[in-house]
Chains A and B, each alone.
Chain A
Amino acid sequence: MKTITQLTQYLLIILLGYFTYGCFDNIPDIENLPSPDVNFTYEVSDDTYTLDYYVGATVKFQSISGMDGDCVWDFGDGTPTVTGKEVTHKYAAAGSFSVKLTINGLKHSTKPIMIKDIVPIMSVDSVAGGICEVLTTPVSISVELPNPENLAEEYLWLFPAGTTDEAGNPVSTSTLADPGKLKFGHVGSQTVRLQVKLAGRSLEEGKVNVQVAYNQDVPTLYYAVKGGNIMALKLATNKPAGMNIYPYDMGVSSGKHPLNILFNDASLYILDCGQQFTFVDDASGIMGDGRIMIMSKDGAKVETMLSNIGGPAFNDPFYGYIEGKYLYFTDRNTGIKTIELKDRNRIHTPAEFPFKVQNATLGYYANGWSYGAMNACFTKVDGVWYWCKTFNGNGIYRFTDGDILPTAITGGQPAPASGIALSGMSPKSLVWDSKKQMFYFSVYDTGYEGFYRCRLDQLNEIGGTKSNLAPYKILTTTGKTVTPITDTGKGEGSSGEFIGICQMALDEATGDIYFGLRSAFPNEVKSGLMRYNSSTNKIEHVIEGVEVYGVAINNGKSKLF
């Protein structure tokens, strides 16, 4: 035994010696990688407008290739090639070009360069008080016109209708370099345009939006335009005659399919379910491209709250609801999750964002709905959740937090006591007016499409019988039904997940309801931004022709945002 212990000690000493003398400093060698055989950079070498790459700017191209030899440059604009390790070039026309560097005629590298025409860059000067109020506040507009060659300049300003000079005289155009201070007679984004000629050559037209405020504090409606930007609109009910209320272009992209937008505090939350929002065979779980963006109420700041880019397509955020410090959001057809309103730049993973509730954690599973029941809008009324489903178990499914089961089931549990409303129908959106105790919803079942208004007891009385909907349907001022597109191929979406009327928003001050309509019968009712007018009990157009997804209202009153 003693011998064995001694042997072990000897072995350890030998190992220690080997460790000490057999090894040396293991700090690895730092290796300097060679440059690629052919590589280059470029930059504007003029003193000014180095970011702009204007026509006529001097662009310096420099080879940083690992390979030695003759450098031959093809600038991609049809001009002769030039030789040299460092060369300059001026492009005579705007456009996108491919620059090719070839060394010794053996190897080459090609990179893009984009040249821009000179364009007048316009900006609105800051005003006293911070906002430009309709009819009242004079503003001036600054122009930066790059003109390195000092060419003759000709200006033509084009002002929107209702513009006056500071003294109140109407102006529609001006040929001055500085048109002086202006006042605007209409609310919304007032676009001032500037056409400039340099030495007789017309440049691309410059534009600037002046965000003209209303002269009273009123709520603000936000809406997401298809293929466009988030827009805002002052909800003025008693505007003076002759004054128009136009929308504000917030300068923030709506995204691909912002089915829901939500306003809370001073921010707009944009739930964009991405390009592909219907079924797709995403076996690898990588086709997601949805995200939740947060736009400050004036559009000046945009942040990413949650991203599902590169995740499963069905995990994109579709519909949402805000309560307390949480935003609740659904995926396509499984459940509802939560994220704190203060969160930023979060990645949507199942581990970090588990379901608060899912199809399989309510007693409705195999008892009303089944696997993959398709999500639509949801809300909360007096502590009860109202969750719209449009496929694999249609209706408005109601439950309380106490109904949520701790583990997923496959059936056999009792349905929540709150029960199903509109069972078997396809309710897409809903909103609750707690002040008037009225419930508004839209459905898109063939023959019953439309916008409805009823009390909660009446909602229960409708049950699952579509013909019972009739007394509660609201028509337009011309007596027509608002019918969203539900023909596959005609509009967006497919069976069970048409865009429909994808969100409603309540103006708490008036009780009016706003929504976007993609009309199936444009000859009867044009598509556009719509309003249920609570004083007339009719639906009317707010803006015709625009294609709208989500809508939200900042019920806080302000002149601007």
Chain B
Amino acid sequence: MKQILKNQGNPVIMLVIVLIFFSCEKHDFIDKNAITGNVGPQAYWEIASSTVSAGSDVAFDAQYYSTVADIDHAEVWYNIVETEEKNVSCTWATTFTYSISSIISKEQRISQKIKEYPHALAVWSDSLHAYFFENTFPVSGTLKSFAWSKPAAFDSLKMETYFGVGYMQHFKDSLYNLMKYADFKNMILGLSLRSDFKQYTDSTLDINSDSYVYHFKKDINGNTPVPTEIEQLYNDSIPFDKLISGASGYNVEYKRTYSLNANLRVYDKKDIYGTTVTKKIDIN
């Protein structure tokens, strides 16, 4: 009995038992829990640069082999992703920073075959133990990046094109809801819409800081609402472009760039393919 117990701890016996369980179909836990597909060629590639100019070619080198079937050909596939970066800010506000920014990336073209490369036995590399070739794939010249940044002249048509219809009014309304006395004063005097602001100004002594706090005049409830005249001035006399004007052009930035996610597929004669890792390439 002692010997049996000893044998139970024998790693050889344990291994045999494990092998039996895993080699039998009815105990093949792996087969039950995984879907097994065809074995495609093994492929690896490197690209020469992770940035490419629109209209240029991307150079790459690739290695591949198959232990299952003869190689047939290779293909480069990629999709196109567009990234839009937008930023608009108003520098008239002094009590806070008003800036709306967004960066949105979305796929604009699905992944599709871009170029095909025939296979040749001659590209076998003894040192790599794989087929090896160098080649390029093209990128459309239409995918140049585009920027409209801090323009010296405002163009409302471009604003609507790049930011959407209604954006300017939304920006203006949102800003109004955040502005305080000091912001209105800075904006209205800065835009020379009034020569002085005294008629809208009242003050309260802050005993903590022993200084006066300036604000709009109080109503009968003690609140300090924006005077009707100021509200009308804001709505009627300050167009959107005045809100975003700055010392070095208008504070609006729009940038559109493209990138591609590429991989190389290597097909065998049974039309089964193996694929490389995906490479992200920025397009300028």
**Which residues of A are interface residues toward B (Cβ below 8 A)?**
1, 4-5, 7-8, 12, 15-16, 18-19, 22-24, 26, 28-33, 41-43, 51-54, 96, 111-114, 116, 119, 121, 123, 144, 227-229, 251-253, 275, 293, 295, 300-304, 489-490, 522-523, 526-527, 545
B212 nearest CB across to chain A (Å): 23
Chain B interface residue bracket vs A: 35 or more
Of B107-115, B117-125, B195-203, the one with at least 4 CB within 8 A of chain A = B107-115
A302 B51 Cβ-Cβ under 8 A: yes
The reply to whether A526 and B110 contact each other, CB–CB distance below 8 Å, is no
Q: A51-B138, A114-B80, A293-B50 are in contact. Are A4 and B1 (CB under 8 A)?
A: yes
What's the dominant secondary structure at chain B's contact region?
mixed
Residue of B nearest to A545 (CB): B248
Complex A-B: 25 CB contacts under 8 Å: A1-B3, A8-B7, A15-B17, A19-B20, A23-B20, A26-B28, A28-B36, A41-B110, A52-B140, A53-B140, A54-B142, A112-B109, A113-B108, A113-B110, A114-B82, A114-B109, A121-B55, A251-B53, A301-B49, A302-B49, A302-B50, A302-B51, A303-B50, A523-B247, A526-B247
- Across the interface, A112 reaches (CB within 8 A) one of B28, B106, B147, namely B106
Bound state CA distance, A526 and B257, in angstroms?
A: 29
CB contact between B109 and one of A28, A53, A54, A295 (< 8 Å): that residue = A53
Give a binary string over B61-101; 1 marks a CB under 8 Å from any A CB, 0 the rest: 00000000000000000001010010100000000110000
Do residues B50 and A18 form an inter-chain contact, with CB atoms below 8 A?
no
Q: Which of B31-75 contact A (CB under 8 A)?
A: 31, 34-38, 48-51, 53, 55
- Which B-chain residue is minimally distant from A207 (CB atoms)? B144
Q: Are B142 and A52 in contact (CB under 8 A)?
A: yes
Footprint of A on B, CB under 8 Å? 1, 3-4, 7, 13, 16-17, 19-20, 22-25, 28, 30-31, 34-38, 48-51, 53, 55, 80, 82, 85, 87, 96-97, 103, 106-110, 112-114, 138-142, 147, 149, 247-248, 253, 255, 257, 282, 284
Residue pair B28, A304 in contact (C-beta under 8 Å): no
Whole-angstrom CA separation of A43 from B114 in the bound complex: 10
Asked if residues B112 and A252 are in contact (CB atoms below 8 Å), the reply is no
Option from B38, B51, B248 in Cβ contact (under 8 Å) with A253: B51
Assess the B149–A227 pair: CB atoms within 8 A: yes
Contacts of B49 in A (CB 8 A): 300-303
User: In the assembled complex, which residues on chain B have CB atoms less than 8 Å from the CB atom of A121?
Assistant: 55, 141-142
The 9 closest A-B pairs by CB, nearest first: A121-B141, A302-B51, A114-B108, A489-B97, A116-B142, A28-B36, A51-B140, A23-B24, A301-B49
Residue A119 contacts which of B20, B37, B87, B141 (CB distance < 8 angstroms)?
Answer: B141
A555 CA / B172 CA spacing, docked (Å)? 49
Q: Which residues of B contact A51 (CB under 8 A)?
A: 114, 138-140
User: Which residue of chain B has its CB nearest to the CB of A255?
Assistant: B282
| A residues in contact with B248, CB < 8 Å | 522, 526-527, 545
Whole-angstrom distance between the alpha carbons of A490 and B95 in the complex?
10
Distance, CA A41 to CA B87, complexed state (A): 35
Pick the residue among A26, A53, A111 that contacts B24 (CB under 8 A): A26
Q: How far is the CA of A111 from the CA of B22 in the complex (A)?
A: 43
B36 touches A31 (CB 8 A): yes
| Interchain CA distance A303-B284 in the complex, whole Å | 15
In the complex, what residue of chain A is closest to B91 when comparing beta carbons? A490
Contact of A30 among B4, B38, B96, B106 (CB under 8 A): B38
Q: How far is the CA of A51 from the CA of B31 in the complex (A)?
A: 42
Chain B residue nearest in CB terms to A296: B49
- Whether the Cβ atoms of B284 and A229 lie closer than 8 Å is yes
| CA A22 to CA B257, docked complex, whole Å | 62
- Smallest beta-carbon distance B175→chain A, Å: 15
Asked if B35 contacts A253 (CB within 8 A), the reply is no
| Complex CA–CA separation, A275 to B105 (angstroms) | 14
Is B141 a contact partner of A12 (Cβ separation < 8 A)?
A: no
| Chain B residues closer than 8 Å to A5, beta-carbon distance | 3
Residue of B with least CB distance to A344 = B46
The answer for the CA separation of A300 and B59 in the assembled complex, in Å, is 11
CB distance from B57 to the nearest CB of A (A): 11
Q: Please, which residues of chain A bring their CB within 8 A of the CB of B22?
A: 26
**A112–B108 touching, CB < 8 Å:** yes
A23 and B108 form a contact (CB under 8 A): no
Cβ of B4 and Cβ of A252 under 8 Å apart?
no
Which residues of chain A are near B110, meaning CB under 8 Å? 41-42, 111-113
B23 in contact with A26 (CB, 8 Å): yes
User: Which A residues are in CB contact (< 8 Å) with B138?
Assistant: 51
Complex: chain B residue closest to A22, CB-CB: B24
Given contacts A29-B36, A111-B110, contact A23 B284 (CB under 8 A): no
Q: Which of B17, B34, B48, B108 contacts A96 (CB 8 A)?
A: B108
Question: A8, A113, A251, A275 — which one has the most chain B CB atoms within 10 A of its CB?
Answer: A251
